[in-house]
Amino acid sequence: MEPIKRFLYWLLDGTRGGPTRVRLLSILSRRPMNLHQLALSAKLDYSTAEHHIRLLEKHSIVECTGAGYGKLYFVSDSPAIHDYIKEKLEGEGFYENKKTGPNKIR
């Protein structure tokens, strides 16, 4: 297993916050959002969303543009990260098909 995939597996599957991070990545894979929008969309406290986004940003899984309140977050452009996240979201039932719209099985 590639080191990046091993790390993503640990971060998204092997930790207590993994399911929350997957949910945030699922939302961000649809469109960039600021922290407030992301927290509302994920039905999380702002501080919880901020904690998980900061962790994902620290490890270059999520990137941002802008500053202050309008700072937008989006999934990194790395092909390895995109592939793993797409696999994970499909397996979790979060993958969005562009023809049929959001597909959330839960």
Tens of pLDDT, residue by residue over 63-93, are 999 988 889 999 998 888 888 888 877 876 6
**Which phi and psi angles does 70 have, rounded to 5°?**
-85, 5
Please tell me what DSSP assigns to residue 90.
H
Please give the model's pTM, rounded to 2 decimal places: 0.78
Look up the CATH number of domain 3-92.
Answer: 1.10.10.10
Which residues are within 8 A (CB) of 48 and not within 5 positions of it... i.e. 6 or more apart? 20, 39
Conformational region of residue 101, where left means phi above 0, alpha means psi within -120 to 50, and beta covers everything else: left
Collect contacts of 58-62 with beta carbons under 8 A, ≥24 apart.
Answer: 59/7, 59/11, 61/8, 61/11, 61/25, 61/85, 62/25, 62/28
Compare 54 and 96 and report the one with higher pLDDT: 54
Residue spans per domain, the chain: 3-92
Q: What is the pLDDT of residues 26-37, one digit of tens each?
A: 899 889 999 999
